[in-house]
Every structure is written in C-alpha cells, then in structure tokens.
Chains A and B, each alone.
Chain A
Amino acid sequence: MKLTRTFLGATATLALTAGVAWADPALIYDLGGKFDRSFNEAAFGGAQRWADETGGEYRDIEMQSEAQREQAIRRFAEAGYNPVVMTGFSMATPLETVAADYPDTNFVIIDGVVDLPNVRSVVFTEHEGSYLVGMMAAMASETGTVSFVGGMDIPLIRRFACGYAQGVVAANPEANVIVNYTGTTPAAWNDPVRGGEITSSQISQGSDVVFAAAGGTGVGVLQTAADAGILSIGVDSNQNHLHPGQVLTSMVKRVDNAVYEAFTAGEDLETGLVVMDLAAGGVGYALDDNNAELVTADMQEALDAASAAIASGETVVHDYMSDNTCPVSVE
C-alpha cells in the first residue's frame, strides 16, 4: 500500500509538470474535419488569424469518432488549456458533463447551448443569412425552380432550409423550392459523392440554383453544379473561389469571428449565451471578385433593403427551431 502511494504521488507530480504552465487556448473540430472547406475550416481560420496577430500558440484536435468527444474535452481541460473552444452541437451533451468537473476552465461551444456558469454558447441566426441567399437564388434563377441540399437531417439544418425557402418566396412568390438531405447520421457531413448525386437529381427536376448547407458534402454539390453549368451557393466559409464565376454567393457564418473573439478574450472570457445575428455581422452573404459579375444591381438593391429590414426587426424571418414548423412548404 505504501509503495502504491509513493508511486501514485510520483505520477501525480509528473502529471502536473506535464501540463502547460500558462494557459493557451485549445480548439476541437467536430466530425467532418479541420479542412472541410466549410464549418470547421472557418473555425480554423479564426484560430489561425488569432495566432498570426498575437504570435500566440494553440492546440487543436479533430474528432475521429462519436465516442471520443468527452475524452478530447477532458484532455484539454485537464492539461490546463483555457479557454477550450469546440465546434458543433454534438459537443453539447459531453460538455455538460465535463464543464461541471472543471469549474475554473472556460469553455466555448459554437452551434450548441450549454447552460453552465463557465460556458459561453455561441449560436448564429442561420435563417436570416439563408433568407438573403434565398432571395438571390430566386432572382438569379431562370427556370423558377431552385434547390437545397442539407447535410444531416436535423432541426439546425432545417432552419437553413426554411430561411432559404422564405427568401426565395419573398423574391418570387411563384418559385418552386426542392429540399433534400444527405442522411440522418454525422456521416452526412462528409459525403461529397452523395451530395453530387442529389444535386444531379435536383437539376433533372429543373433546378438551376442550388444551396448546399452540408459541411464537407457541399464540395460535391458545388462541383456537380459547376460541371452542369448551373449556379450554386456555398455555406459557412466564403466558398466563392472554389468555382469562380459559378458560385452565386456563400452564406457566411462567422464561426471564425466566434473563435477569434474567444481566443482574444482568453481566460477572462465572458460566459453565457451569445447570439450572432445579421445585425451583429454574425451571418451574411459573400461578395468578392469571383461573383461580382453574377450579382446584378437590382439584386444588390433588393438585398440591401432586405438586410436593413431584418436588422431593424421590420422583417422577421421565421426560425424553424422555435416551433419545428416552417411557414413555407419545403418538401
């Protein structure tokens, strides 16, 4: 017994010295991976921007399986990283358990809500951004039929679909919106082949603008749309450069800003719920050299008006997640 105690004492000291002396921030990417050109890559972009500007260092890890989430969060908290930032709603349940065990560490979850004193929950109003790109889709469409490819079929992605459909109908009440989802498991975030197949099917039904809100799967959607000569709309990161002149716009979700702000705040991070909406610049649409020719003056005028109306509260875009229904038919 005595020997065990000495042994355990020694290992405890080792564990302490193994941790970091000062608090670096850490970032955990959910399934889909760091370089998904979309959601997780936006987070990586924010962290990298912080590192370039401050010269600071951070640790990051990509999730490989559902069962590792809790261990990854614990590992960073145990080693003294602060704050620990993570992306994806799937992190919410594991974080609930872990955050309570490390009251002195601050955690940030993006896209999920955990109601604990040491957690900042960052959520975006995806329906507002999707509404704007929906308007653009309807105005750019010649056939009057546009489409949507979602990743995993969950309320969060239905929120994108519903906002998009509302925007389409606002710009063209006669327009038809086709909505499909890639799957019902997290594998749906990283299946570009299936994304391409769904897009082909939508094109054969007359769609000439497709919006992908599907993480890594969207790469296949944009590729298929470009090959078929129709327009596409990217998501989360600015994806206009993937197929210059063929991506109408991207519904940007400033995950990078959320990570950047959390890293900048460091250990003194304020916790609680943070809603990044259109007025706060949390969501929006991307304009750059790659899509300048696709966005007409009429379109720009309509978008500016709609943005102002949403920001001022004059136009309220229905949030699917508030009551799990959508005022516009999205089937």
Chain B
Amino acid sequence: MSSTRMPKWADVLLVPLFSLLIAFAISALVILAIGEDPVEALVIMVRGSLGSTYGWGYTLYYTTNFLLTGLAVAIAFQARLFNIGGEGQALIGGLGVALVCLFIPWPNWWTAMIAAILASAAFGALWAAIPAFLQAKRGSHIVITTIMFNFIAASVMNYMLSHVLRPPTAMDPATARFDDVLRLPRLHDILGLVGIEFSRSGPANIMLFVALLFCGLAYMLMWRTRLGFEIRAFGQSEPAAHYAGISGVKIIMVAMLISGALAGTMAVNSVMGGPQRLVLNAVEGAGFIGIAVALMGRSHPIGIIAPALLFGFLYQGGGELAIETTIPREMIIVIQALVIMFTGALDNMVRQPLEAVFLRLRRRG
C-alpha cells in the first residue's frame, strides 16, 4: 500500500493539499478567462463564509449537511458499495422529519429532535433498503439503482408537497411552518450560554454537534466492533470475507441501511434546523457533495470532517460570490467539480510524483 512508500502524514495531508492547490489554480485561470479578478474572488469567498459569525453560521450549517451525507457515503464505501442515492435518501428523510413535526404535539425541542432523527433515519434507511436488497439478492448494480431512486424520491416529494402536505390556502408547494417550540437551538443560543457572541441569523444549530458525534460513533463502529471489521473485510475482498464466514447479503444490507439512515438524518438539519418547514428540493445537492466529501476524506469517519468544512466554505463562499460579483453561480459548480476531480478521481496524478519525491529523499537519507 501507499503508506510504505510515503509517511502517513504526507498521505493524509500533502496529497489532498496539493490536489486542492491545483484545483484552485485552474479555477483561478477560469475566473481570469471570464474577465474577473481571482484574488478578489477568493477574498470575497473567505470574507463571506469565514469573515463574520453570520458567514460562519451558514458555513457550519452547510458543513453539517455535508458531514452527514459524507458519512453516509463513507460507511457504504467501506464495504465497497457506491451509494449515489444520498440525495434521495435525504429527501425522503425530510418527509419523515415533516410528518413527525407536523402531526405530533411535542412538548419541547429535544424530544422532537430525537424523534425526528429516528424518523428521518428510518425513512432514509427504508429508501436505501430496496436498492440494497436488489444488490444483495439479485446483483442489480447499486450505482444504477440508487441513482434511479433519487428521481423517484424527487417525484414522491413533488406529489406529497403539492397535493398532500400543502396547506389548503397556500400557493407554495411546501408544508406549514412547524410549531415554534420545535425550533432547534442555534449556535447563537448555544454559544450565548458560555458568553460568546454569535450572529442570530446563521442557521447552524445543535445538529452540528450531533453530526460530529455520529462521526465519532461511526469510527467506533468501523474500527472497534466486530460488525465494523466484517464490513471492512467484505470491502477489501469479498471472496476472503465469504471464506471467513461473513455473509455478503447481511453486510450489504447493514452497510446500506446505516448509510441511508445517516443520509436521512441530514434532513433534520436542513428542515428542522433551517427553514422549519419542508420545501421542495430541501437537500440542495448535499447528497452528491457527500460523495466528494467521502472521496476526499478517504472514507474515514474522522477524515471527512475537514472536507465537509471545505465544501461548507465553498458552498457559502460561492453564494456570496454570486451576489458580490458577476461571476455566475454556475462557476462555483465548476470550482467544486475541479476540487472533486483532483481530490477524488485524479488522486494518482498527485500521489505518484509525491511518492517518487519521497523515495528519492529516502534513498539519499
């Protein structure tokens, strides 16, 4: 493996850093090509996302989304299952959140939050269960089925929001606003307890800490339990896992159910923590960005935290760029795509030259 040719710190830090620098350099060229100043663009992005507690409030809100969807993809990928359906699983998870929040009179926010987490996880897991079953029992490729399920989920949400959950007098295809009691504590409220001033506006909320807790729990699961070992063993070599008595059907089902459940819980943040009602397209592509986050974090539950923050920054900074300059929002998607391409797909382009450098250094030493 690569770690024998390169020290571990270089593998974990240098490779993504160089990939990122290349991606940003090419983005700068593209921004130059459309006649804008790349330095100014970077300044606007940094200031808009990290330069105020208002910006942080949004950056960390998006980070929470990407932590959960990234974790979902990472867990499935440990079993070598490429779950592209995070988007659909999160959409359906949102339905679970809305049903729990609209139809049950909760006494306070935390009971509602726990119920919403459980409901969204159940809905997300259910949405992942069908592709998982088809893969485990029928060999239908999980990439194809999960991506198809994204479209089905979008149609289901269209129907539910425009025909079933829309209040009769409203014109917008969205549910009614949840009760004020169900408002999740935001960073403004939480940090206020320890005397830190934080903008009231940013929607980052307690789900950020829940997401980080889930990262820790996922690490424990993958590296400290028998189930985690079985999932990783299955991912490394299916025949070897089979020979060791590990059931492939069970691992595929369990890994995908966990993955779908995590993607589903993302909706607690984007529905209950954000607008406090379910709107169309509540996921906003976070399911797909989760793939990039997991790739960049090497599918490690702790490793995905930094890339989730990076994409939170790109997302919020990109929105600011669209307002402050004439750089179109589509440009931000190009920059994100470049980051994904260099950190995920073109990994070896950076890794191999770096390995060569380290080999040469070692020979000299």
Chain A residues with CB under 8 Å of chain B are 1, 4-5, 8, 11-12, 14-15, 18, 59, 61, 64-68, 70-71, 74-75, 78, 89-90, 92-94, 97, 101, 152, 154-156, 184-186
Contacts and interface: CB of A to CB of B under 8 A. Distances in A.
Given A59-B323, A94-B275, A156-B171, A67 B282 contact: yes
Do most interface residues of chain A lie in helix, strand or loop, or is the interface mixed?
Answer: helix
A94 B276 CA distance: 10
B172 A93 contact: yes
Nearest to A5: B196
B112 to A, nearest CB: 19
Contacts of B51: 11, 14-15, 18
B58 interface: yes
A3 B312 CA distance: 24
Given A18-B51, A67-B281, A8 B196 contact: yes
A68 B316 CA distance: 11
A74 B281 CA distance: 20
Contacts of B163: 184
A12 B56 CA distance: 11
Given A12-B53, A66-B174, A93-B172, A101 B281 contact: no
26 contacts: A1-B194, A4-B196, A8-B53, A8-B197, A8-B198, A11-B51, A11-B52, A12-B52, A12-B53, A18-B47, A61-B323, A64-B329, A65-B281, A66-B174, A67-B281, A68-B284, A71-B58, A74-B201, A75-B320, A92-B172, A101-B200, A101-B201, A152-B171, A184-B158, A185-B158, A186-B173
B322 interface: yes
Nearest to A156: B171
Given A14-B47, A66-B280, 20 more contacts: A1-B195, A8-B197, A11-B50, A14-B52, A15-B51, A15-B52, A65-B284, A68-B319, A71-B58, A89-B171, A94-B275, A97-B276, A152-B171, A156-B171, A184-B162, A184-B163, A184-B173, A185-B161, A185-B280, A186-B173
Contacts of B54: 15, 78
A152 B170 CA distance: 13
A90 to B, nearest CB: 5
Contacts of A94: 275
Interface string B196-219: 111011000000000000000000
Q: Which interface class (under 10, 10 to 19, 20 to 34, 35 or more) fits B?
A: 35 or more
A12 B53 CA distance: 7
A152 B171 CA distance: 9
Contacts of A89: 171-172
Nearest to A61: B323
Interface in B222-254: none
Given A66-B174, A78-B201, A93 B277 contact: yes
B142 interface: no
B52 A67 contact: no
Contacts of B88: none
Interface of B: 47, 50-56, 58, 158, 161-163, 171-174, 177, 194-198, 200-201, 270, 274-277, 279-282, 284, 319-320, 322-323, 329
Given A78-B201, A93-B172, A101-B200, A67 B275 contact: yes
Contacts of A15: 51-55
Nearest to B163: A184
A69 to B, nearest CB: 8
A105 to B, nearest CB: 12
Contacts of B161: 185
B172 A90 contact: yes
Contacts of A156: 171
Nearest to A76: B323
Contacts of A4: 196
A59 to B, nearest CB: 7
Contacts of B56: 11
Given A66-B280, A94-B275, A185-B158, A155 B171 contact: yes
A5 B198 CA distance: 10
Q: Most chain-A Cβ atoms within 10 A of its Cβ — which of B197, B198, B201, B320?
A: B201
A66 B323 CA distance: 17
Contact of B174 (A12, A64, A75, A93): A93
A186 B279 CA distance: 11
A185 B319 contact: no
B174 A185 contact: no
A93 B201 contact: no
A184 to B, nearest CB: 4
Contacts of A90: 171-172
Contacts of A59: 323
Nearest to B280: A66
Contacts of B277: 93
A65 B315 CA distance: 14
A155 B173 CA distance: 12
A90 B200 CA distance: 23
Nearest to B202: A74
Contacts of A61: 322-323
Most buried by B among A1, A90, A97: A90
Contacts of B322: 61
Contact of B274 (A14, A67, A75, A184): A67
Contacts of B270: 67
Top 5 A-B pairs, shortest CB-CB distance: A15-B52, A184-B162, A154-B171, A66-B279, A66-B280
Contacts of B171: 89-90, 152, 154-156
B29 to A, nearest CB: 25
Contacts of A186: 173, 280
A13 to B, nearest CB: 9
Nearest to A157: B171
A70 B53 contact: no
Nearest to A74: B201
A26 to B, nearest CB: 9
Contacts of A11: 50-53, 56
Nearest to A89: B171
Contacts of B323: 59, 61, 75
A58 B174 CA distance: 30
